[in-house]
Amino acid sequence: MKFIVSSATLLKEIQMLGGVINNTNTLPILDNFLFEINDNKLTLTASDLETTFSTSLMVESESNSNIALPAKLLLDTLKTFPEQPLTFVKTEKNTVEIIANNGKYALAYVDGDEFPKASQVVDAKSIMIKSEILFTAINSTLFASGNDDLRPVMSGVFFQFSSESLVFVATDAHKLVKYTRTDVTADDTSEFIMPKKPLQLLKGILLGNSDEITIEYNDTNAMFRFGNSVLTCRLIDGKYPNYEAVIPKENPNQMQLSRTTLLNSVRRVSIFSNKTTHQIRLKIAGAELQISAEDFDYSNSAEERLDCDYQGDDIQIGFNSRFLIEMLNNLNCDDIKLSMSLPNRAGILTPLDHNSDGELITMLVMPVMLNE
């Protein structure tokens, strides 16, 4: 086996794949990238058994072959090279020699046939979606997914496709985000739960990408095809909770104000909140919002007053400031609306502007009990 490839191109591709590889793998082969040469096409693959990511590029080669090379060693080496052609040659000493402009480097390789094959997505349904829409859907929801190993279904993002809309939902029982697109639809009604790791990989790659993405999915696996890349992952098994049941329908108390004004105020006041509960108090009366926090253990407290547009009864409600900050950070708008019914019912955040046509975002944050 012998092939020539640009160092910068190869580095870019394997950095993209590197996110798949775990720090500790049960199978030693998973610490490697699979290199497959077939008629001047080099296909690179990384896997952790649950998620498999492949990408391909054109190279100059003399023969077809497949080998697995140590990922960390290869990444660390390529990062130090200036842009130049690299020649990879398989030697008789069970090594691959990388020949650069001013040096030679030998890496031990493993037979590529030992590398696990990606799951085949058979009897799949499919949909095409623009990369910026999928990026926004992932970016808007992923932060709200849970980390509880006892409730794996809530550690991913729920995809719900129908002939009317695409819906993406994430929740950790304290906060919930529902992102809907009515301008994109599917031929079939179907739903599945995507794990967090492949979504984080996709989020990093899709930013600024203009490819159309084909999603193929069945009951156990999903496959994302874009450009020269294919990402296959195992879906989370289980039934997603009935999220619609927790979204309050009647919310007569509605406040509108600038997102950045509220975000900066909550950030400042929360510095003085209890470090365990992160509790802040919102007191709304007339056209004034009072945000306060208190840490009784250290006698720290803070209070700010903001002007707002408010319709409804006077209300006092408590929130975990971290959740509120996260949500306000993940909204891309100038002004927001906070809808509430009672101090013990969830508050609903929605953007008032900057929405694309056909885009709906609902963010729900559970209140915390106020200490009187």
| Binned average pLDDT, 10 residues per bin, the chain of 372 residues | 95 96 94 96 97 96 92 96 96 94 95 93 95 96 94 96 97 96 94 97 91 95 96 97 94 97 98 96 96 94 97 97 97 96 96 87 95 66
What pTM was estimated for this model as a whole? Answer: 0.94
36-51 exposure pattern, b = at least 16 Cβ within 10 A, e = fewer? bbeeeebbbbbbbebb
One domain for residues 143 and 31: no
One domain for residues 12 and 106: yes
One domain for residues 135 and 238: yes
Full residue range of the structural domain in which residue 170 is found: 125-174+183-244
* Domain assignment present for 227: yes
Contacts for 328-333 with beta carbons within 8 Å, 24 or more apart? 328/259, 328/262, 328/263, 328/266, 329/263, 330/139, 330/140, 330/143, 330/177, 330/363, 331/259, 331/361, 331/363, 333/259
CATH number at residue 134: 3.10.150.10
Q: In the listed set 244, 260, 282, which residue is the last one of a domain according to the structure?
A: 244
One domain for residues 358 and 307: yes
* Domain assignment present for 300: yes
Number of domains in the chain: 3
pLDDT for the residue numbered 372: 62
One domain for residues 105 and 139: no
* Domain assignment present for 120: no
One domain for residues 351 and 269: yes
Please tell me the distance from the alpha carbon of residue 134 to that of residue 167, in angstroms, as a whole number. Answer: 11
pLDDT for the residue numbered 76: 96
* Domain assignment present for 336: yes
One domain for residues 92 and 142: no
